[in-house]
Structure 1
Amino acid sequence: MRQFLLLLAVAVALGAQAAAQNAGMRRLTDRDDLLGWEAVGRLDIADAGFCTGTLIAPDLVLTAAHCALDGRTGKPFGPGQVTFRAGLRDGKSVADRKVVQIVTHPDFVANAPVSVERIRRDVALMRLEEPISIAQANPFALHSGNLSGAEVSGASYGRGREEAISRQRSCRILDRRQGIIAFDCKVTFGPSGSAILAKDGVRWQILSVVSAGGKINGKTVGFGMELSKIVSDLKARLRRDAPRPKATIRRLQVGSGKSGSGAKFIRSDGS
């Protein structure tokens, strides 16, 4: 417990030195390398830079709440201000989609200092304007199996590697308690919101989302949260707050026997 609290005490907002953080990362630029990782994408955020997001459904991106809120207003970015670029590599993406709806935990504060509560709530869901087909990018499921002995990995965009996904093949879980997961995956600016993945059988599944990071004795320490409960809650909020379809009024063309949609009236004699 004491070691865990020490790690949290020195946690800082992501933004460490990029050169040191990028060592040992594999850049996924070849199409064969990217295969299976297309659901990881760069989130281009208005004039506020970028984060990393991951598809968990064809029209749903998982990321960090601090990537989804405007630091000046504390409110979610508006429709069209965020673009998800799936599988972006050297200027080309599998698909680009505008974000039209964002939900975060109601008690998450955009500019609050790092704390256990903040990290636990640092999750956002973003709905895309239209789905990305599974053939283009197969979404990742949330991890639900036994983590004991599981291989853990990270895939993200970051400072100095903005144009392609970089993957750290293997990293370790350092601690897991109070709804927080500490890990030694490499983190810097940009990986905010990226998924920490654990392998369950042949498919990688999302274990956590990168929220914050710092250094202990020169070694990188990252922090994320347990996901199952908060993601379920956010999905419910997303459904509840989804924009309702606008009602449309069709104008009938008098004397034409037709509506604006081309439907015909039926006369009383059946003709």
Structure 2
Amino acid sequence: MTRRFLFGFVFMMIGAVMAPAQESDLISLETRQDSQGWEAVGRLDIRGKGFCTAALIRDRLILTAAHCLFDDDGSLIPAERFEFRAGLRDGRAAATRNITRAIAHPDYSHNGEATRPAEVAKDIAVLELDRPIRAVRMRPYLIAEQPLTGDQVGVVSYGRGREDAPSLQEVCQVLGRQTGVIVMTCDVEYGSSGSPVFMMRDGQTKIASVVSAMAQVDGRKVALGTSLQGPLTSLLAHFAAMGPARPGGTQRLISTGERNDTGAKFISAD
């Protein structure tokens, strides 16, 4: 899933940003060799609705966009309608897991106003797998510090027209940040919601943002992601405090406020 809209409030600063570095083209990860290091990114199928993209951040926990948890009528989608297919290529997944519960950020408000920065800034969710994924080639990703204007990032995503294999864009650029929203030049499509945005830090590939939406700024297509500097830590702290999953699996967090020093987000796709 992926949303598209005109993003009017952002970025007087973009005009002053340095000229973007040379961006790389999308590469379809169709072979096992191409996919090495990216197997923990998968397609999050939603029965009766479509799909998003998600990434493994713990052996039983995946990160995606919060709006992927909501149906067209605004209701929460039951956990049993989700299936995570890690490393999916040409109909075969490296690991397939059902979902026991799905939790959106407590301050995320799904009211259909995708242009609201406050909605994009909290558009993250975690989903608990029914069984852990423990494989050398599918290790959970660590979380990077928030990217800065001018930083180079990369994205791995599924999307419309490329549903059967993930696509990698190795180099795109952070154009700017505002009110918890990261604006990037990454090439995303419908279905890319929840995709992980990566940065190389300390010799490791870490998630720096999660795709929430597509947008246009001054006629240019951009990707919008969430700054994870605070929201993800808060979300994970509440998830840990909730105890076992309840029947039905889909829950909404109650409160927020814990310190957050991790972050990850990717563009959303509906």
Deviates more, 1:212-221 or 1:144-153: 144-153
Please name the residue that 2:202 is paired with. 201
Correspondences of 1:71-90 after superposition (within 5 Å): 71-75=72-76, 77-90=77-90
- For residues 106 and 194 of structure 2, the distance between their equivalents in structure 1, rounded to whole angstroms, comes to 18
1:120 aligns with 2:112: no
Please name the residue that 1:267 is paired with. none
- For residues 145 and 192 of structure 1, the distance between their equivalents in structure 2, rounded to whole angstroms, comes to 19
Q: Helix, strand or coil: the match of 1:210?
A: strand
2:155 touches 2:196 (CA, 8 Å); kept in 1? yes
TM-superposed deviation, 1:95: 0.2
- Residue-by-residue CA offset, 1:128-149 (whole Å, 9 max, x unaligned): 0011004241111110277587
Please name the residue that 2:3 is paired with. none
- For residues 225 and 244 of structure 1, the distance between their equivalents in structure 2, rounded to whole angstroms, comes to 26
1:7 touches 1:221 (CA, 8 Å); kept in 2? no
Amino acid at match of 1:84: F
Structure 1 residue ranges (4+ consecutive) displaced by more than 3 angstroms after TM superposition: 4-9, 145-151
Please name the residue that 1:63 is paired with. 64
Deviates more, 1:60-69 or 1:208-217: 208-217
**Structure 1, unpaired ranges of 5+:** 10-22, 247-271
TM-superposed deviation, 1:167: 0.5
Relative distance call for 1:63 and 1:244 in structure 2 (3 A) is closer
1:70 touches 1:110 (CA, 8 Å); kept in 2? no
Relative distance call for 1:146 and 1:236 in structure 2 (3 A) is closer
TM-superposed deviation, 1:45: 0.6
TM-superposed deviation, 1:192: 0.6
TM-superposed deviation, 1:244: 6.3
Relative distance call for 1:227 and 1:83 in structure 2 (3 A) is same
Correspondences of 1:1-271 after superposition (within 5 Å): 6-7=9-10, 24-75=25-76, 77-114=77-114, 115-144=116-145, 147=148, 150-243=151-244
Q: Helix, strand or coil: the match of 2:78?
A: coil
Structure index of larger Rg:
1
TM-superposed deviation, 1:238: 1.6
- For residues 244 and 178 of structure 2, the distance between their equivalents in structure 1, rounded to whole angstroms, comes to 37
Higher-RCO chain (CA-CA 8 Å, sequence separation at least 6): 2
Relative distance call for 1:154 and 1:192 in structure 2 (3 A) is same
Q: Using structure 2 for the length normalisation, give the TM-score.
A: 0.78
TM-superposed deviation, 1:216: 3.5
1:103 touches 1:237 (CA, 8 Å); kept in 2? no
Amino acid at match of 1:224: G
**Structure 2, unpaired ranges of 5+:** 1-6, 13-23, 248-270
1:142 touches 1:228 (CA, 8 Å); kept in 2? no
- Residue-by-residue CA offset, 1:19-71 (whole Å, 9 max, x unaligned): xxxx9310001111111000100000121100000111111100000012223
Amino acid at match of 2:31: D
Amino acid at match of 2:144: H
- For residues 228 and 168 of structure 1, the distance between their equivalents in structure 2, rounded to whole angstroms, comes to 23
Relative distance call for 1:235 and 1:142 in structure 2 (3 A) is same
Identity %: 37
TM-superposed deviation, 1:202: 2.6
- For residues 95 and 127 of structure 2, the distance between their equivalents in structure 1, rounded to whole angstroms, comes to 15
Amino acid at match of 2:171: S
- For residues 43 and 129 of structure 2, the distance between their equivalents in structure 1, rounded to whole angstroms, comes to 13
Relative distance call for 1:149 and 1:199 in structure 2 (3 A) is farther
Q: What CA RMSD, in Å, does the superposition of the two structures yield over aligned residues? A: 2.4
- For residues 163 and 135 of structure 1, the distance between their equivalents in structure 2, rounded to whole angstroms, comes to 23
Please name the residue that 1:18 is paired with. none
- For residues 161 and 237 of structure 2, the distance between their equivalents in structure 1, rounded to whole angstroms, comes to 37
Q: Using structure 1 for the length normalisation, give the TM-score.
A: 0.77
Q: Helix, strand or coil: the match of 1:37?
A: coil
